[in-house]
Amino acid sequence: MTILTNIAQLVTVASGGAPSKTGAAMRDLGVLDNAAIVFSDVIEWIGAVDDLPSVYMEQANEVVDCRGQVVLPGFVDAHTHMVFAGSRAHEFARRLSGVPYTEIAAEGGGILTTVRAVREASVEEIVEIGERLVQSAIEHGTTTIEIKSGYGLSTESELKLLAAAGALQQEMPIDIAVTFLGAHAIPPEYASQPEAYVDLVIEDMLPKVQEQGIATACDVFTDVGFFSREQSERILKAAADRGFALHVHADEIANIGASEMAAAVGALSADHLEYTTPENMAALREADVVGVLLPGTAYTLRLPYPDARAMIDHGMVVALATDCNPGSCLSENMQLMLSLACANMGMSIEEAITAATLHGAHALRMSDRVGSLEVGKLANLVIYDVPSYADIVYHFGVNQVYSVWSHGVEIA
């Protein structure tokens, strides 16, 4: 048993058992001043230092004095593409000179550049890239992460990416949720017959992914130049029939009805949402679809930022994630995502913290175990060397993490 004591601010994000907190409740972080927390793999006690029962002090193997420090739940990064190969630095440079992302994609670059590298890479090479990114995410305060496939686009290469994600699940010290994203782009060999690729995803990939047993969810990139609403719906319904949870890349480049579809098919989350309308927001709220917003992507691609303010005011459950991938956002730093979200998306510091913890967990339907610091939940927490939680967002572009704990064990 471990005790962290003399915590200047313990930010619990407590929801009292509710899976998420909407509207004004999103701003209630349940902060305890001069607090202590007692845990094994799960949290056993939380309260003011003065109320800490002496029996815990007698039983503890380790007492950590957090004088002047701040403790938060570990971040839940609910949207990443951390299994890939190669680099897109050259395309980044071209985009800076004004060439649009869509033009590079239409030339066979973009996602397809990474697909070529993945098809030539071994599982070990992909795992090595993933290890570095996951390790760095941990060091920046993330204790639960989602990883998608999607740079293979053939049955063999998608299974290779999922095997790499499975290896990361086994060896990294945090919980990793794996998502199959076979419908990330149309591969070049199917350019003239996209429907046949949709059939391949449904008839060949989905059954084999199910059999392999690593991915629990299925995602589709529903957008102009990628998968139509109809194609996406076919894939998502087939995935749901096989027991996969659903996520959708929605309204990123244009609004072709992707978020509306996400609500209709019962997706856990609709992600991106740069071009989402107020009507779409209402539909997402009604269907309890989490809006996973990715400010690092809007920043990198210079897209209009998603209107988080309107979404929260519409009562939607809003989460923040990195989208960490080689093309549209190569960052695994959730602290930076909070700063970008507050500066550009009309979110308060409190809303951003709830979005990056409890609501990331709800997007993965894991908020019964992670995402807030409450008795009975996993002891996934991060100590920051800052005078107040606001400083995590205010003092940006540097790493403020002091130490990271997953399942009650110090891992960084």
**What residue 158 binds from Fe ion, ligand NIG, none (CB within 5 to 8 A, per partner kind)?**
none
> Residue 188, by phi and psi: left (phi above 0), alpha (psi -120 to 50) or beta?
alpha
Q: Which stretch binds ligand NIG (CB under 6 A): 155-163, 237-245, 275-283, 325-333?
A: 325-333
* Alpha helices, H only, 327-394: 334-344, 349-356, 358-363, 390-394
Among 69, 114, 143, 157, binds ligand NIG (CB under 6 A): 114
Residue 332 near residue 136 (C-beta atoms within 8 A): yes
Q: Which stretch binds Fe ion (CB under 5 A): 58-66, 85-93, 162-170, 322-330?
A: 322-330
How many CA atoms lie less than 13 Å away from 227 in the CB half-sphere? 30
Q: How far is the CB of 104 from ligand NIG (least distance, A)?
A: 9
Q: Is 323 in the site for Fe ion (CB under 5 A)?
A: yes
- Contacts with ligand NIG by CB under 6 A: the residue count is 12
Q: Is 326 in the site for ligand NIG (CB under 6 A)?
A: yes
Q: How far is the CB of 221 from ligand NIG (least distance, A)?
A: 5
- Listed residue (224, 226, 266) closest to 245, CA to CA: 266
- Listed residue (135, 132, 130, 136) closest to 165, CA to CA: 130
Q: Helix, strand, coil proportions of the chain in percent (round to 5)?
A: 40, 25, 35
Amino acid at 259: S
- Which residues, numbered 249-268, are part of the site for ligand NIG (CB under 6 A)? 249, 252
Q: How far is the CB of 334 from ligand NIG (least distance, A)?
A: 16
The 233-252 contact track toward ligand NIG, x by CB under 6 A, reads: ----------------x--x
* Alpha helices, H only, 18-100: 54-59, 89-96
**What residue 221 binds from Fe ion, ligand NIG, none (CB within 5 to 8 A, per partner kind)?**
ligand NIG
Strands ordered across the beta sheet of 175-183:
75-77, 142-148, 175-183, 217-222, 245-250, 269-272, 290-293, 318-320
What is the DSSP pairing of strand 245-250 with strand 269-272? parallel
Q: How far is the CB of 54 from ligand NIG (least distance, A)?
A: 51
- Contacts with Fe ion by CB under 5 A: the residue count is 1
- Listed residue (61, 71, 59) closest to 29, CA to CA: 71
Q: How far is the CB of 392 from ligand NIG (least distance, A)?
A: 25
Q: How far is the CB of 79 from ligand NIG (least distance, A)?
A: 7
Among 9, 69, 179, 328, binds ligand NIG (CB under 6 A): 328
Binding site for ligand NIG (CB under 6 A): 110-111, 114, 221, 249, 252, 297, 323, 325-328
> Contact positions toward Fe ion, by CB under 5 A?
323
